Chains A and B, each alone.
Chain A
Amino acid sequence: MKTGFVQIFKRSVLQLVRRPIYWVGIFLLPLFCFLFLSSLMEEGLPKKAPAAIVDRDGSDISRQISQTLGGMEMVDVVANPNSYTEARHLIQEGKIYGFFLIPENFEDDLLAGRAPQISFYTNMTYYVPASLLYKTFKTTAMYTKAGVASEVINNVGFTSDPTALLLPVNIQARAINNPFLNYAYYLCVSFIPGVLQLMILLVTCFSLGQEIKYHDSTRLMQLANGSIIRAMAGKLLPQTLIWWVMAIFMESWLFGWQAYPMHGSWFWLTLSQLLFVLAAQGFATFIFALLPNSRLSLSVSALLGILSFSIAAFSFPMQSMYPALGIFSYIVPTRYNYLIYIDQGLNGIDIFYSRWWYIAYIIFILLPLPFLRRIKNAFNRPVYVP
């Protein structure tokens, strides 16, 4: 019997090719997710949120407001309910995400200086549409107010700049490197590597678990002449190569075809993807070494892989979490992928500032080494615990 690294490598390639589940796990599902997430959010920002105007006044000014609002890019005025109650029912039925309320006698009160109140309601059970509606409603209300105010001011014979009078202090908020507040940038560049990490964790643990489950691991150890390093390297290297191809494809997909912002060095970003694959594999091996059992290691991988999407703080910042939980965001490789993208891709700053993220990758890669002995024992005496 021929033994050695090359034999193990060949055997692993055959295992991967022969079982459909690897094709599904390595190619089909990740590629589907790449395509799905980026094409779902192609618009960058969901435009035209359904909304309503409740015009209880029916005057010139109120009709003007309705018109202004109807022309706004972010809203789609789909209803003109007669009362607050009707509008609230539309919200409960999910037909609109917010509404603008102009009270009775609005124009009369306004011109008589009785300070009528304009209110707008946003359904905060859906964050994104509610935030967009909030912005549009607020702008519309401010325009109206400014228009009315400058008219009043002109009427009293005050001639200087009305903007300066009404808004004496102005703080412009500038969104650096994402001026149009494209939401897809964040969701795609964080969730797509997250999917890749999840699949790497699962496939790695699955393939190692299969050896034990079907008692193939003793043969693997024979082929490796008893060396666990050789066995693991031969077993995982074919997967590494495939994942590398997938990771590079992901990078070109996101920053090439989809043209997400890339203001830094391609070298560092690519290096990040390659190390990311190794880090995820290292992390998976570590999990398997601690729990050399198919189902337990898969359960933990699934748990951490799915939790990564939240704990890695892509949407809710780590600094705002409870410290005891926030600390866990450091134990998943995909967080570093995201941080490196932000530094090296979105902001394009010096590599010096990202040095720790790369070191974190290396720690993940080295993590399983002290525990390989546990895998060796499990491989030599395979026991399948269902």
Chain B
Amino acid sequence: MKNIMRQFYHAFLSEFRLVKGDMGVLIFFLLLPIAYPIVYSLIYNPELVRDVPIVVVDNDRSAKSREMVRQLDATQGTWVKGYALDLADARRAVNNHEAYGILEIPEGFSKRIARNQQGEAVMYCEMSLMLRYKALLVSSTDVMQSMGAIITTERIDQIAPLAETISNGEIMPIENIQLGNIEGGFDSFVMPGILILILQQAMMLAVGMCGGAKREHPERAFYNPVAKKPGVFIAMLGETLTYLVIMIIPTIYVLHYVPLMFKFPIEGDLLQKFLFILPMLFATTGLGFILQGIVRERESVFVIWVVTSVIFLFLSGLTWPGYAIKGVWRFLSDCVPATWGVEGFIKMNTNGASLAQVAPAYRTLWLLAGIYFIIGYLVQRFVQRPAILSGLKNN
């Protein structure tokens, strides 16, 4: 027993030394999770799409049409850049990427309103980005409602007092309440998920690179070929401890300080969040042991693993919701630790769920950790160990 503990301790120390001496690995373990969240958060930090430029083709030229344009300009989402002579002129501005929408007000707009009919206008939206379309749509709806409410009240006043119930204002107010990310900002929506993905990917890349480093320099692996010590499993445990110890600081920073710095919604209990993320780190380490099987040199990990970030992003259900992921992709998505990590962390951090409420994700993470450690053991036993051994012989 004492012997095993000593082996474990030495495996831990030797792996720690290897990591400490390898700039590449350190970059993944420390620099990546510290720098990336800041860069990403800064990109999206303006949160909302404001003042999308549009041009107006006003064929009505009335007080009402001008009022509508003024109100539109005053909304958060739209900025009236100017007037165009006709639709062709307006198209030119859009084609030139100077404006992203055209408001066309037809002749007779104000007359129709005066005649108690509906005044219609059209907002043509250039569709290069969904968020710009959304901003224009929300602005138009707001103006429709605010202008409409005044005109409706005026009209009802004319036929009053019959419609007393309506003239009191709203007969049935409608209210939308945004939960979790209450301001509906883009940064606060996307970043909590990205943070978890960054943790997983940083750890995967670092562990993968450690494997490559050992293949290139087998003497740096902690293994005594004569005594055949330590055993594969003990070595794995020692290495895991190294990785977890190193990840303590990045994890605290990413889960706690980044949301603080960028004012993301912070709900839930901090300790519970750490407890929740622990099995994800284990599962990721296990996956890293598997990855080591195909990383023959330190640099190949870039070519093989970096692009998976894109795949995992989509599998996580962040951009494309989980309920719409079907079939084989559903299965693949379930196999990725970050899918569960993202799901659980968002629920806890943004929606204020407790650890008990995310129990299914939590249990799955432990299950994945177990499975990946078993497969990782096989990879270490039958691929990585022999590779290091033959490397030692060749030296």
- Residues on A facing B (Cβ under 8 Å): 21, 24-25, 29-30, 32-33, 36-37, 39-41, 43, 46-50, 88-89, 91-94, 97-98, 110, 113, 115-131, 134, 137-138, 141-142, 144-145, 148-149, 152-153, 156-158, 160-161, 163-178, 181, 183, 186-187, 191, 194-195, 198-199, 202-203, 206, 209-210, 213, 294-295, 298-299, 301-302, 305-307, 309-311, 313-317, 319-322, 325, 342-343, 346-347, 349-350, 353, 386
Q: Lowest 4 A-B CB distances belong to which pairs?
A: A46-B324, A113-B165, A92-B353, A125-B180
| CB pair A171 B116 closer than 8 Å | no
Question: Chain B nearest CB: distance from A94 CB in Å?
Answer: 6
The CA of A321 and the CA of B310, in the complex, are separated in Å by: 22
The CA of A161 and the CA of B366, in the complex, are separated in Å by: 62
The CA of A128 and the CA of B184, in the complex, are separated in Å by: 11
Partner of A302, one of B302, B321, B346: B302
Indicate if B244 sits at the interface (CB-CB under 8 A): no
CB within 8 Å for A124 and B144 given contacts A183-B130, A310-B44 = no
8 pairs across A/B with beta carbons < 8 Å? A48-B323, A138-B176, A145-B172, A187-B320, A195-B310, A198-B306, A206-B302, A317-B49
| CB pair A317 B147 closer than 8 Å | no
CB neighbours of A169 from chain B (8 A)? 68, 113, 118-119, 121, 143-144, 147-148, 151
CB neighbours of A144 from chain B (8 A)? 172
Binary per-residue interface labels of chain B (114-148) against chain A in the complex, 1 for a CB within 8 Å, 0 otherwise:
00111111111111111111101100110110011
| CB pair B181 A37 closer than 8 Å | no
Stretch among B156-164, B225-233, B269-277 lining the A interface: B156-164
| CB pair A325 B42 closer than 8 Å | yes
Indicate if B97 sits at the interface (CB-CB under 8 A): yes
| CB pair B165 A152 closer than 8 Å | yes
| CB pair B299 A119 closer than 8 Å | no
CB neighbours of B59 from chain A (8 A)? none
B217 nearest CB neighbor, chain A only: A386
| CB pair A170 B119 closer than 8 Å | yes
CB within 8 Å for A186 and B169 given contacts A124-B184, A199-B307 = no
Binary per-residue interface labels of chain B (219-253) against chain A in the complex, 1 for a CB within 8 Å, 0 otherwise:
00000000000000000000000000000000000
The CA of A219 and the CA of B143, in the complex, are separated in Å by: 70
Binary per-residue interface labels of chain B (147-188) against chain A in the complex, 1 for a CB within 8 Å, 0 otherwise:
110011001100100111110111111111111111010100
Question: Chain A nearest CB: distance from B295 CB in Å?
Answer: 10
CB within 8 Å for A115 and B170 given contacts A21-B303, A175-B125, A316-B49 = yes
- Give the number of residues in B that approach A within 8 Å (Cβ atoms): 110
| CB pair A168 B165 closer than 8 Å | no
| CB pair B329 A311 closer than 8 Å | no
Partner of B306, one of A194, A202, A295: A202
The CA of A24 and the CA of B166, in the complex, are separated in Å by: 68
| CB pair A181 B130 closer than 8 Å | yes
CB neighbours of B309 from chain A (8 A)? 306
| CB pair A125 B181 closer than 8 Å | yes
Q: Which of B50, B130, B141, B144 has the most CB of A within 10 A?
A: B130
B170 nearest CB neighbor, chain A only: A115
| CB pair B131 A119 closer than 8 Å | no
Other CB < 8 Å A-B pairs besides A91-B351, A342-B128, 6 of them?
A89-B357, A127-B189, A168-B118, A169-B119, A170-B120, A171-B103
A78 nearest CB neighbor, chain B only: B323
CB within 8 Å for A173 and B189 given contacts A43-B324, A141-B174 = no
| CB pair A322 B45 closer than 8 Å | yes
Partner of A24, one of B133, B137, B304: B304
The CA of A88 and the CA of B296, in the complex, are separated in Å by: 49
Partner of A316, one of B44, B116, B298: B44
CB neighbours of B370 from chain A (8 A)? none
Indicate if B88 sits at the interface (CB-CB under 8 A): no
The CA of A309 and the CA of B179, in the complex, are separated in Å by: 27
CB neighbours of A91 from chain B (8 A)? 179-180, 351
| CB pair B304 A158 closer than 8 Å | no
Indicate if B358 sits at the interface (CB-CB under 8 A): yes
Question: Chain B nearest CB: distance from A99 CB in Å?
Answer: 9
Q: Which of A49, A117, A175, A195 has the most CB of B within 10 A?
A: A175
The CA of A210 and the CA of B151, in the complex, are separated in Å by: 73
| CB pair A173 B50 closer than 8 Å | no
| CB pair B48 A320 closer than 8 Å | yes
Question: Chain A nearest CB: distance from B227 CB in Å?
Answer: 29
The CA of A92 and the CA of B350, in the complex, are separated in Å by: 9
CB within 8 Å for A168 and B357 given contacts A124-B179, A307-B39 = no
CB neighbours of B321 from chain A (8 A)? 46, 49, 97, 126, 128-129
| CB pair A173 B137 closer than 8 Å | yes
CB neighbours of B95 from chain A (8 A)? 343, 347, 349-350, 353
A117 nearest CB neighbor, chain B only: B173
Indicate if B352 sits at the interface (CB-CB under 8 A): yes
The CA of A113 and the CA of B175, in the complex, are separated in Å by: 18
| CB pair B171 A163 closer than 8 Å | no
| CB pair A175 B127 closer than 8 Å | yes
Indicate if B259 sits at the interface (CB-CB under 8 A): no
CB neighbours of B347 from chain A (8 A)? 92-94, 125
Indicate if B22 sits at the interface (CB-CB under 8 A): yes
| CB pair B329 A39 closer than 8 Å | yes
A130 nearest CB neighbor, chain B only: B178
